[in-house]
Structure 1
Amino acid sequence: MNAFEPTQHCAALACTGLGYQIKGTPLVAEVDLLVRPGETLGIVGPNGSGKSTLLKLLAGLLKPHSGEVRLNDHPLAKLRRGEIARLLAVVEQQANTDDAISVRDAVELGRTPWLSALSPWSAADDAIVAQALQAVAMAHLAQRTWHSLSGGERQRVHIARALAQQPRILLLDEPTNHLDIQQQLSILHLVRALPVTTLIALHDLNQALDCDRLAVMQHGRLVALGTPLEVLTPQRLHDTFGVHGHFIDDPLDGSRFLRLRPR
């Protein structure tokens, strides 16, 4: 078995006592979290609660001031960037580029962790890039320039580039931010169908209901963890999000959604 191959019993990604601060102000404090292989874990919380900072710490983009992150039960701090990139990919809120590149060029960048002098670009890489473009329904726009794309199309390209890395874990920071409702639903449907462990930071609590579990952040701390119905209680909605809320059953299909009102 590969040293970085997850076992049946280890977490895909985990942290203990995780903390990060800027100029003495804690942005994340004492977070303990275990992400199960294959699950979709949503991270929710009000603005400034530490969602984005937590994702960057888990991805190794920020170095924690306290605690530890473990990737497939290996300390993240002891892994090389190339090793991390073969296992974990990140889609940030804003990842624009000023380079005049095509859609395919942008997705090909996802293969960088797998290339070396001994492993140059090959037909296998071409096939992986083509598959990633197909997965996000962007194959027909492969030759389009980046600057000609809509916001939703760019977000699909970001995800395709991440898929081209062939990660086992995908971290997404509010991937539907600034998209219209049709694009939001399309992106979330795409993400849910991906065969990877997924961590996704979301603002919209109704969109978060489709996650397997939710981690609720407040003032940099993890204050609740469980299924959406377990953690999004009226008391939690009041205390953390500052709203009144309750669940309603959809008469069309029986699914549940949140009805939210200001306090």
Structure 2
Amino acid sequence: MNARTDQVTSVLSGVNLSYRVKGAQLLNDVSLAIRPGENLGIIGPNGSGKSTLLKLLSGLLAPSAGEVFLQGQPLSAIRRRDIAQRLAVVEQHAETSDSISLLQAVELGRTPWLSALAPWSEEDTRIVNQAIADVSLQALRERAWHTLSGGERQRAHIARALAQKPQILLLDEPTNHLDIQQQLSILRLVHRLPVTSVIALHDLNQALACDRLAVMDHGRLVALGSPFQVLTPERLTETFGVLGHWLTDPFDGARILRLRTP
């Protein structure tokens, strides 16, 4: 499929994306197209370009070369407000120093939809309450932001993104700072949402739940396909520096990766 066809059939795509900063090439000629409704996982070692790719796809960074397309339109030609109505981002180290409550932080997700002609309404309140419930933070809604733990703040950032009611959700390692129960809960939520999602992950077994995986290595896209297609023993060794083979869980028949050092 050529780049022009990708732009028409995908909800979000990057064509020949490169990004250079201070002489360092962080991303090199990456092209991929995200299909409507799919959950695409981006995996790779530290420094492989996962976060840079997500920032380019979201418009937080402008590519040094190439173009991002949102629903067939060049992202660079779309107003930020219009982008925010269609696409939400949860960054890896998102933070705020404002003296606000968790509820107020989540309410910020409604900002792209508000104007003098469309002030805050009961529907906005309903959407915010649902977003908080989706990440199980109802009991903390009035808590001051600075009193929240790292995991609680991360869940609140996800709730803020959900409050945007996006069609596309980009998440950069959203399970950082979360305990294992919260990790599984958040990933289950993301997979069940009626949105297209792109999620950068470290844990390869958690990545198996994605429809497709994009494997990054030294700023390049080196593999793209279903988890079982791309996570071959050769790819695990070449990109991740580990040995691996597939096991079958006797509990439910699911395939899982067994990883070990060479």
**TM-score class normalised by the smaller sequence:** over 0.9
For residue 31 of structure 1, what is the aligned residue in structure 2?
Answer: 30
Does residue 67 (structure 1) correspond to residue 69 (structure 2)? The answer is: no
Matched residue, 1:4 = none
- Using the TM superposition, give the Cα deviation of residue 106 of structure 1 relative to its aligned residue in structure 2, in angstroms: 0.5
- 5 Å-filtered alignment, 1:90-105, equals 90-105=89-104
What code does the residue aligned with 1:151 have? Answer: G
User: Which runs of no fewer than 5 residues in structure 2 stay unpaired?
Assistant: 1-7
Alignment map for 1:170-181 (pairs within 5 Å): 170-181=169-180
Instruction: Please tell me the residue identity of whatever aligns with 1:196.
Output: V
Task: Give the match for residue 44 of structure 1.
Answer: 43
Alpha-carbon displacement from aligned partner over 1:83-136 (angstroms, at most 9, x marks no partner): 100000000111122222111100100011111122111222111111211222
| Structure 2 Cα separation of the partners of residues 181 and 65 of structure 1 | 38
1:157 and 2:156 are equivalent in the alignment? yes
Q: How many Å separate the matches in 1 of 2:50 and 2:204? A: 14
Supply the AA of the counterpart residue of 1:171.
L
> Which runs of structure 2 are paired with 1:85-234 in the superposition (5 Å)?
85-234=84-233
Distance in 2, Cα, partners of 1:197 & 1:151: 26
Query: Residue type of the partner of 2:179?
Result: D
**Quick one: which amino acid aligns to residue 22 of structure 1?**
V
* Amino acid across the alignment from 1:45: G
Whole-angstrom CA distance in 2 between matches of 1:34 and 1:215? 10
Residue equivalent to 2:247: 248
Q: For residue 25 of structure 1, report the CA deviation from its aligned partner.
A: 1.7
1:138 CA displacement: 1.7
Amino acid at match of 1:87: R
Normalised by the size of structure 1, how large is the TM-score? 0.94
TM-score by structure 2 length? 0.94
Alignment RMSD: 1.1
* Distance in 2 (alpha carbons) for counterparts of 1:178 and 1:163: 19
Choose 154-163 or 166-175, whichever is displaced more: 154-163
Matched-pair identity in %: 67
* Structure 1 Cα separation of the partners of residues 99 and 191 of structure 2: 31
Question: 1:146, CA displacement in angstroms?
Answer: 1.5
Other-structure match for 1:236: 235
Q: Counterpart of 1:95 in 2: which secondary structure? A: coil
Q: Give SS of 1:137's match.
A: coil
Equivalence for 2:261: 262
Can you give the 5+ residue segments of structure 1 that lack an aligned partner in the other structure?
1-8
* SS class of match (2:69): strand
Displacement of 1:169 in angstroms is 0.3
Counterpart in the other structure of 1:17? 16
